[in-house]
Amino acid sequence: MSGSAVSLRTRIEERKAIVAVIGLGYVGLPLLRAVLSAGYSAIGFDIDRAKLAAIEAGRTYIAHLDASPVHAAVTNGSARVTDDYALLAEADIIVICVPTPLGPHQEPDLSYVEATGSGLARVLRPGQLVVLESTTYPGTTTDLLKPILQSGGLVAGRDFHLAFSPEREDPGNPLQAAEIPRVVGGDGPVAQELALAFYDSVVVSTVGVSSPATAEAVKLTENIFRAVNIALVNELKTVFAAMDIDIWEVIEAAKTKPFGFMPFYPGPGLGGHCIPIDPFYLTWKAREVEVQTRFIELAGEVNTSMPRYVVERLADALSRRQRKALAGARVLLVGVAYKANVDDTRESPAFRLWELLERQEAIVAYHDPHVPVLPATRHYPGLSGKQSTILSAKVLADFDAAIICTAHKTVDHALLASHCPLVVDTRNALGTSGSWPNVVKA
């Protein structure tokens, strides 16, 4: 181990290393909090000045996450927030937590990683450790990011060190970032030792793997596992519905088996930054090595078909129960966040439902206590700025139907079912008892 690596290892052990976190969103902000709690001085970097201003003012911009510890650290001088790459030269450890979305043809969009790498290459100095946390396909860290970082003249493994440790954030989960074990794959033994030492000082435990590519594959495997099993219950839902069997009742009974079964639950489609996206990262990379991922792609097809299935169930119920067409019907989407009890709308299936309903000339509104105003999105810019409808008996009676897309605890679903003529429940928010004759499962 070189002298600079030994020095960094000592600075980690003594909590004297300065840690920079790039990207202060759903992944980076919790990590920054954990780093500060571990006793490090830190730099928070983001190109969004609004986030930096919110932190400096003590405002929280992620509803379920208290940003006050970061604000306190900025106030007392143990943390700084910036959009200036030059300040990152002061850091000993730099952790990249930027988005990795999909492009228009379901291909990986690594533009944020590339732009971050280019910015870092201009200021990178000898002795630093760079860790990528953004979810991506195997090979990204060493094949894409490393050459970009080396374009500034430094060499990985000699002048600086590189590793991958996949983020494991779950918005709304009470587990803190420091309480979740971390997988770590270093680009060489020295990078591995340094990365493990850093994460061991921040989180409850670490799991070292043989390479960054292996660590990248671990994250994809975790989320593809969920995507495939959700696809299975989504398909079972459609089969059992045709047999007049409630999938939710089936799952509740099946999960009493103490072995050989793990419950997964159906829904109107997949949401969040990881599960709808990660399978496509692997299928794209698999084509490069001439391997087919038929099982994963089939799961993707099932999950992406769910919004259309929900709309079909709604149209059928309107026709049979109210003798109404979907065209001209007033439909309320209840819950636009991708999961319950958070304000995170990333990849929410509610947006796809909205699009499909408007294509059939339905009149759409929404209610979500966690999302009072719809944010700007890449794929649905026309919905930006629309406001949540306030629920009341009178308001609900004016709608022809409602779709429960997300089952927030703070929503009065009984009020909804009591006053809306038709409710399509995609989350079992109203239970399996069948006590609501105007409720249809989808």
Domain with residue 187: its CATH number is 3.40.50.720
Closest-CA residue to 169 (of 281, 70, 54, 31): 31
The last residue of one of the domains, among 191, 208, 225, is 208
pLDDT of residue 272: 81
Element (H, E) at 206: strand 206-208
pTM beyond cutoff 0.75? yes
CB distance 356 to 326 below 8 Å: no
pLDDT of residue 3: 85
Helix (H, G, I), strand (E, B) or coil at 63: coil
Query: Is there a domain that residue 301 lies in?
Result: no
Average per-residue pLDDT in the chain? 95
The separation between CA 429 and the C-alpha centre of its own chain, rounded to angstroms, equals 23
The last residue of one of the domains, among 208, 239, 268, is 208
pLDDT of residue 264: 97
Domain range enclosing 416: 306-442
Confidence of residue 62 (pLDDT cuts 50, 70, 90): confident
Share above pLDDT 90 across residues of the chain, in percent, rounded to a whole number: 88
Clarify whether residues 156 and 19 are in a common domain: yes
Clarify whether residues 61 and 179 are in a common domain: yes
Q: How many CA atoms lie within 13 A of 67 on its CB side?
A: 25
Paired with 95 in beta bridges are 21, 131
Clarify whether residues 23 and 146 are in a common domain: yes
The last residue of one of the domains, among 208, 240, 257, is 208
pLDDT > 90? residue 276: no
Query: Is there a domain that residue 352 lies in?
Result: yes
Query: Is there a domain that residue 246 lies in?
Result: no
Query: Is there a domain that residue 253 lies in?
Result: no
pLDDT of residue 63: 81
Active site residues: 274
Query: Is there a domain that residue 294 lies in?
Result: no
Share above pLDDT 70 across residues of the chain, in percent, rounded to a whole number: 100
Clarify whether residues 50 and 193 are in a common domain: yes
Collect all residues with Cβ–Cβ distance below 8 Å to 117 and sequence separation of at least 6: 96, 144, 145, 148, 149
Q: What are phi and psi of 364, to 5 degrees?
A: -115, 140
Query: Is there a domain that residue 164 lies in?
Result: yes
Query: Is there a domain that residue 8 lies in?
Result: yes
Query: Is there a domain that residue 193 lies in?
Result: yes
Clarify whether residues 180 and 314 are in a common domain: no
Helix (H, G, I), strand (E, B) or coil at 94: strand
Confidence of residue 433 (pLDDT cuts 50, 70, 90): low
pLDDT > 80? residue 273: no
Give the chain's domain count: 2
Clarify whether residues 329 and 197 are in a common domain: no
Nearest-10 Cα torsion for 62, 66, 67, 68: 150
The separation between CA 349 and the C-alpha centre of its own chain, rounded to angstroms, equals 13
Confidence of residue 15 (pLDDT cuts 50, 70, 90): very high
b (16+ CB within 10 A) / e for 192-207: bbbbbbbbbbbbeebe
Clarify whether residues 176 and 27 are in a common domain: yes
How far, in Å, CA of 318 to CA of 237, rounded? 20
Element (H, E) at 286: helix 278-288
